[in-house]
Amino acid sequence: MSASAIDELMQNWAARDDAADPPFANHKDLYATIDATSLGHIPWQSFEVSYNQPIPLGDTVPWKRTPYKVFFRDPRLVLQRQPANPDFKDDIDYVDLIAQLPKCMGATFVPAILGSDKTTVSVATGQNEYYPLYISNGLVHNNVRRAHGDSVTLIGFLAIWLRTELPDREPADSSEFRTFRRNLFHGSVRHILVLAAGNDRTRGHPIR
């Protein structure tokens, strides 16, 4: 149902004399309620990154002036959900040596495993402007991880500049461009993890 249709439905609901108040004020109220639900969908977020070094006068290469959008979901929420999945109860190690230490009070160390595979997007859409980013936890057994399911979860799409879009006069293997691509990838992953950790000191994410 479209946003305008939701708004119209709520207005018609409220206009009825014999009806209770509508459950939502409008489509924004409905969407906010869905996003705030602890069970089910983890909302997608986004941020932009861009080249932040001085650009010489006359330098018009597009990748130095283009903002790149990165989409992601909170990896901390995903990792909280994975060990809580009852489907993994026989294929996950909840108790390790750390959990047995008295000072840890039963807390378990949950390793985070990140991976990216650009071919997933290339095969599906015929282009690879985004690299999908996945996360899994180190507690599930390998047979579960190989079976994918909810043990390997998509948490982001990383923006990647394509070499084919470089100007003809700029070599694709220039050290400046290679550094930019590397920092675009790793800087985006770092920023996703920083946002998940709630570290306000690193709001900036320079891409050199």
Tokens standing for 135?
């996360």
d(CA 75, CA 81): 10
Q: Answer yes or no: do 32 and 47 share one domain.
A: no
Reply yes or no on whether the pLDDT at 104 is more than 60. Answer: yes
pLDDT digits 0-9 by tens, 150-160: 778 889 988 87
Supply the pTM of this predicted model: 0.63
Is 207 within a domain?
no
The secondary structure element, H or E, covering residue 45 is strand 44-49
- Give the three-state DSSP class for 122: helix
Q: Quick one: 187 and 132 in the same domain?
A: yes
My answer on whether 70 and 107 are in the same domain is yes
| One-letter identity of residue 13 | W
- Beta carbons within 10 angstroms of residue 104's beta carbon: 13
Residue span of the structural domain in which 17 resides: 1-36
Which residues contact residue 93 at a Cβ distance below 8 angstroms, ignoring those fewer than 6 apart? 139, 141
75-99 burial string, b = 16+ CB within 10 Å, else e?
Answer: bbebbebbbeeeebeeebeeebeee
C-alpha of 55 from chain center: 30
Rounded distance, CA 55 to CA 77, Å? 39
Identity (one letter) of the amino acid at 49? Answer: V
65 shares a domain with 16 = no
Mean pLDDT (whole number) for 74-85: 82
Q: What percent of the chain has pLDDT over 90?
A: 6
Residue type, 64: K
Residue 208 within any structural domain of the chain: no
State how far the Cα of 128 lies from the Cα of 117, in Å rounded to an integer. 10
Lowest pLDDT segment from 107-116, 164-173, 176-185: 164-173
62 pLDDT more than 60: yes
Q: How many structural domains are present in the chain? A: 2
